[in-house]
Amino acid sequence: MALVLEGWTENNAGSGTETTITLTKPTDATVQIDDLLMLIVGTDGSEETEQWGSDPDSDGWTKIFEVVGSTSPRCDYALYVKYADGGEGASVTADHTAADELWGFYLHFTGADDTDINSVIEVLGTNSEQSNVTTHPFTALSTLTNGAIVVAALTFDGGEAGFSISTGTGWATLVEEQAGTTSNDASGAITWKTIATAGSSGSLEIDSASADGSYTRMFAVKPATATAVVANGTPAEATCSALDGTGVVVSPGTYEQEGFRWRSDDGSESTATWLEAQDTNRTGPAETTVRLRFLVNLTGSVRIDDFKARVRKVGDADSEWEDPA
Domain end call among 169, 193, 223: 223
Q: Is the pLDDT of residue 315 over 60?
A: no
Q: Is the pLDDT of residue 317 over 60?
A: no
* pLDDT tier for residue 297 given thresholds of 50, 70 and 90: low
Asked if residue 67 lies in contact with residue 76, where contact means CB atoms within 8 angstroms, the answer is yes
Specify the pLDDT at position 279.
80
User: What proportion of the chain, given as a percentage, has pLDDT over 90?
Assistant: 63
Specify the pLDDT at position 324.
64
Q: Is the pLDDT of residue 261 over 80?
A: yes
Domain containing 254: what range? 226-306
Specify the pLDDT at position 292.
80
**Better pLDDT: 320 or 128:** 128
Q: Is the pLDDT of residue 242 over 50?
A: no
* pLDDT tier for residue 238 given thresholds of 50, 70 and 90: very low
Specify the pLDDT at position 247.
43
- State whether 115 and 162 are in the same domain: yes
Q: Is the pLDDT of residue 282 over 90?
A: no
For residue 10, is it within any domain? yes
Specify the pLDDT at position 150.
98
Specify the pLDDT at position 293.
79
- State whether 150 and 8 are in the same domain: yes
**Better pLDDT: 42 or 262:** 42
Q: Is the pLDDT of residue 78 over 90?
A: yes
Query: 71: how many CB neighbours lie within 10 A of its CB?
Result: 9
Q: How far apart are CA 50 and CA 54, in angstroms?
A: 10
Specify the pLDDT at position 248.
43
Q: Is the pLDDT of residue 263 over 50?
A: yes
- State whether 188 and 263 are in the same domain: no
Tell me the average pLDDT of the chain: 85
For residue 322, is it within any domain? no
Q: Is the pLDDT of residue 45 over 70?
A: yes
Domain end call among 188, 223, 258: 223
- State whether 182 and 273 are in the same domain: no
Tell me what the mean pLDDT of segment 238-247 comes to.
Answer: 43
Number of H helices, E strands in the chain: 0, 19
Tell me what the mean pLDDT of segment 121-140 comes to.
Answer: 97
Specify the pLDDT at position 69.
86
- State whether 60 and 138 are in the same domain: yes
* pLDDT tier for residue 323 given thresholds of 50, 70 and 90: low
User: What proportion of the chain, given as a percentage, has pLDDT over 70?
Assistant: 79
For residue 42, is it within any domain? yes
Q: Is the pLDDT of residue 229 over 50?
A: no
Rg (CA), the chain: 26
User: What stretches of the chain adopt beta strand conformation (E)?
Assistant: 4-12, 18-24, 36-43, 62-67, 76-83, 91-100, 102-110, 121-124, 128-137, 148-156, 164-167, 175-179, 186-195, 205-221, 225-228, 237-243, 249-264, 282-285, 290-300
- State whether 110 and 156 are in the same domain: yes
Tell me what the mean pLDDT of segment 273-302 comes to.
Answer: 74
- State whether 141 and 238 are in the same domain: no
